[in-house]
Amino acid sequence: KKIVTLAGDGIGPEIMAAGLEVLAAVASKINFDYTVEAHPFGGAAIDETGHPLPEKTLTAAKEADAILLAAIGGPQYNDATVRPEQGLLALRKALGLFANIRPVQIFDALKHLSPLKPEIIEGVDFVVVRELTGGIYFGEHTLNDRSARDINDYTYEEIERIIKIAFEIARGRGKKVTSVDKQNVLATSKLWRIVAEDVAKAYPDVMLEHALVDSLAMKMITNPSDFDVIVTENLFGDILSDESSVLPGTLGVMPSASHAANGPSLYEPIHGSAPDIAGLGIANPISMILSVAMMLRESFKATAGAQYIENAVNKTLLEGVLTKDLGGTASLSEMTAAIIDNL
Amino acid sequence: KKIVTLAGDGIGPEIMAAGLEVLAAVASKINFDYTVEAHPFGGAAIDETGHPLPEKTLTAAKEADAILLAAIGGPQYNDATVRPEQGLLALRKALGLFANIRPVQIFDALKHLSPLKPEIIEGVDFVVVRELTGGIYFGEHTLNDRSARDINDYTYEEIERIIKIAFEIARGRGKKVTSVDKQNVLATSKLWRIVAEDVAKAYPDVMLEHALVDSLAMKMITNPSDFDVIVTENLFGDILSDESSVLPGTLGVMPSASHAANGPSLYEPIHGSAPDIAGLGIANPISMILSVAMMLRESFKATAGAQYIENAVNKTLLEGVLTKDLGGTASLSEMTAAIIDNL
Ligand SMILES: CC(C)[C@H](C(=O)O)[C@@H](O)C(=O)O
Ligand SMILES: CC(C)[C@H](C(=O)O)[C@@H](O)C(=O)O
């Protein structure tokens, strides 16, 4: 099994190293054989080659069995013409990573970090499924001096395949899909709702509800335990999946997976590259480590390995081993070592 | 002064009546002379004339000095071809109501309603300024069987005038503008950020910061007291202004104003028509009543009148007079009477 790693920028290399340490430890427990191939990506690749997604990196990614990405970006690229994010968008498109999956859960040991009252986050356990290769992200963008235009396109097929993913996930969980659109205004959302209804016919065991994006942006915070699987288009998914990180009160423990119809999946923390603390050895590696767990489960069907990691993270947090962002004093290496000890 | 009222649907007529009672009471205190002209709008107008914004209603609205709108919509129109929202969008466009203003504040007496911890909402006091007549709402919408397209357009001038409004408001308050875009992806957002920088030059006394919409959707909940004036485009503003109602924990106390470059402004509650409780006499009239206060201040420079109403609402809530949605048992008419008593 070939795993391609894209450590990227800022704290990326440190947390990637931590993720790989945990992977090595769990692999020996479950007899999982793999090779790792590191490639430049994002800002690091711009510095090295002038391009955020060098040809070689893309070729390697295409040939991988799974991809681990840590984080990209940094203030030095903010006003540049070539930017790290372009590499990420190009990678998603080139690999056809149309389904972005973000589980939202609250760790018992971290409940106090949530800005929400305990009774609100009680029982929160949902998944945000975001369409990742269509919509206004990939329509034509025209920037003139006095005007600008973006085009938002969706085809029936693009919507159908992501809605199917949501229903499949819901079937294995709480059997409820909340499909989010702005159907009272957008044509793409009108189509979205039609397709959602069509797909639902094949899943009589799963309940489908529709929500308008403005209303859902409220309910996700006021009634978060009402949701099981939330599915939406690219731009709404960008906003809502970031908003969902409000519930655990930290970006530091949330992994994500992005899947294609064929070919490798990509796993990454939902947080950014945190350039302000890069190299200090105090970054929180948990999102990265949980992304490794998602990879084991979803790409390699190594459920036991995934479970070992998730249990170890939970135990470590309950023992009070916390990095600075979680209110503790543990360093990145102390946190990683504690998780490996608890495997 | 001619005030045109559009009571609309659901609880609309009841809360409009309450708002007008309060207006009458305060008008006699401050010697404010006005006439009221009621017109059908939304679902009510569809039922009567087949159109959500009849010609006569539009003509009257154009000739008004200010417009009060209560609420529109209802389940009976959900699958109809002609829908109440179309009237609202057409009215905004026809009157050029490009600037939607939503103040976000927490009433002391209602703090417990917030899903957020008390320390998070401490000191929250900001305004969301939403562009209301441009962007993807008003670009061409194309719906085919197998695909759909929406077009997102902004001109320099459209962005400039709304950013100016934000800076003017900030100048009279906390002197900080947070401009929200998705500049790393959208051309319209790249233009948005350029214009924001250009406008900022004329306001050296006001601080400008930029935020990406995904990141702001988080920070608005985790750090709400950081904000003074948040300004954004139409679709992001729709999502973020609804999301901001999470902070007070109720839609029932939030008014809004929509302004044009010339001509009358429109004032309305941010909540919907609540068809489930329509006609029961238990709706909460406070958003409507506070919208009347905004009208007095912003359209008629009757600051004293606005202040009387706002103080009376505050006092009434502190006395524990609460409608059902606020956890109390007061009826709509009891709440209205209590507010009038406290004027
Ligand atoms: C970096 C940016 C282009 C990206 C997006 O908007 O998709 C990011 O916000 C994300 O959610 O992965
Ligand atoms: C009814 C709908 C078209 C409208 C909008 O999206 O603008 C509403 O949500 C609002 O925010 O006033």
pLDDT tens, position by position, B202-254: 999 999 999 999 999 999 999 999 999 999 999 999 999 999 999 999 999 99
The CATH number covering residue B122 comes to 3.40.718.10
Q: Does residue A289 sit in the same domain as residue A337? A: yes
Structural domain includes residue B24: yes
Quick check: A80 pLDDT over 90?
no
- Is A227 strand, coil or helix? coil
Alpha-carbon distance B223 to B243, whole Å? 13
- Cβ–ligand 1 distance for A85 under 6 Å, the answer yes
| Segment A261-296, tens digit of pLDDT | 999 999 999 999 999 999 999 999 999 999 999 999
- Give the pLDDT score at B145: 97
Alpha-carbon distance B106 to B108, whole Å? 6
- Cβ–ligand 1 distance for B184 under 6 Å, the answer yes
- Give the pLDDT score at A78: 82
Q: Does residue B232 sit in the same domain as residue B174? A: yes
Q: Are B102 and B62 in contact (CB under 8 A)?
A: no
- Cβ–ligand 1 distance for B218 under 6 Å, the answer no
- Would the CB atoms of B152 and A151 count as touching at under 8 Å? yes
Q: Which residue, of B193, B213, B246, is where some domain finishes?
A: B246
Tell me whether B222 touches chain A (CB under 8 Å): yes
Element spanning B303, H or E: helix B303-318
Q: Does residue A240 sit in the same domain as residue A123? A: yes
- Is B125 strand, coil or helix? strand
- Told to judge if B238 belongs to the known catalytic residues of this protein, a careful annotator would answer yes
Structural domain includes residue A110: no
Enumerate residues 6+ apart whose C-beta is below 8 A from B128. Answer: B100, B101, B102, B104, B230, B231, B232, B237, B240, B241, B244
Q: Does residue A226 sit in the same domain as residue A120? A: yes
Q: Which residues of chain B have pLDDT under 70?
A: none
Q: Does residue A236 sit in the same domain as residue A128? A: yes
- Would the CB atoms of A156 and B149 count as touching at under 8 Å? no
Quick check: A79 pLDDT over 90?
no
Q: Does residue A58 sit in the same domain as residue A124? A: no
- Is A140 strand, coil or helix? coil
Per-position DSSP letters for B99-124, written without gaps between them: EEEEEEE--GGGGGG-SB-HHHHTT-
Locate all alpha helices (DSSP H) within chain A, ordered by sequence: 12-30, 43-49, 55-63, 84-95, 118-121, 156-171, 187-200, 213-222, 234-244, 286-300, 303-318, 332-341
Structural domain includes residue A109: no
Of all residues in chain B, what percent are helix, strand and coil, respectively (each to 5)? 50, 20, 30
- Give the pLDDT score at B306: 98
Alpha-carbon distance B251 to B245, whole Å? 6
Q: Which residue, of B211, B246, B281, is where some domain finishes?
A: B246
Which amino acid does the sequence have at A284? N
- Would the CB atoms of A213 and B238 count as touching at under 8 Å? yes
- Give the pLDDT score at B80: 86
- Smallest-distance ligand from the CA of B239: 2
Locate all alpha helices (DSSP H) within B64-212, ordered by sequence: 84-95, 118-121, 156-171, 187-200
Alpha-carbon distance A40 to A51, whole Å? 10
Has A325 been labeled as part of a binding site? no
Q: Which of B214, B219, B301, B341 is catalytic?
A: B214
Alpha-carbon distance B41 to B48, whole Å? 9
Q: Which residue, of B196, B215, B246, is where some domain finishes?
A: B246
Alpha-carbon distance B270 to B273, whole Å? 10
- Told to judge if A108 belongs to the known catalytic residues of this protein, a careful annotator would answer no
Q: Does residue B91 sit in the same domain as residue B45? A: yes
Calculate the alpha carbon distances from B18 to A53, B25, B340 in Å.
Answer: 61, 11, 10
Structural domain includes residue A108: no
- Cβ–ligand 2 distance for A218 under 6 Å, the answer no
pLDDT band at A146 (very low <50, low <70, confident <90, very high): very high
Structure tokens at B52: 């959500």
Structural domain includes residue A107: no
- Cβ–ligand 2 distance for B88 under 6 Å, the answer yes
Residues from chain B that touch A271, judged by Cβ atoms under 8 A, are: none
- Smallest-distance ligand from the CA of B234: 2
- Told to judge if B2 belongs to the known catalytic residues of this protein, a careful annotator would answer no
- Told to judge if B153 belongs to the known catalytic residues of this protein, a careful annotator would answer no
Residue with tokens 């209205």: B336
Q: Does residue B76 sit in the same domain as residue B28? A: yes
Q: Does residue B126 sit in the same domain as residue B94? A: no
Provide the whole-model pTM.
0.96
pLDDT above 90 covers a percentage of chain A that reads 99
- Give the pLDDT score at A264: 98
**Domain region containing B223:** 115-142+150-246
- Told to judge if A77 belongs to the known catalytic residues of this protein, a careful annotator would answer no
Exposure string over A133-156, b if 16+ CB within 10 A, otherwise e: bbbbbbbebeeeeebbbbbbbbbb
Residues from chain B that touch A153, judged by Cβ atoms under 8 A, are: 147-149
Alpha-carbon distance A41 to A52, whole Å? 5
Structural domain includes residue B109: no
Q: Does residue B86 sit in the same domain as residue B162? A: no
Q: Does residue A239 sit in the same domain as residue A224? A: yes
- Distance of CA B39 from the midpoint of ligand 1 (Å): 46
Q: Are B214 and A246 in contact (CB under 8 A)?
A: no
Tell me whether B160 touches chain A (CB under 8 Å): no
- Give the pLDDT score at B79: 80
Alpha-carbon distance A326 to A322, whole Å? 6
- Distance of CA B177 from the midpoint of ligand 2 (Å): 23
Residues from chain A that touch B251, judged by Cβ atoms under 8 A, are: 218
Structural domain includes residue A103: no
**How many domains, in total, are found in chain B?**
2
Q: Does residue A174 sit in the same domain as residue A134? A: yes
Given the DSSP bridges, would you call strands A66-71 and A99-105 parallel, antiparallel or unpaired? unpaired
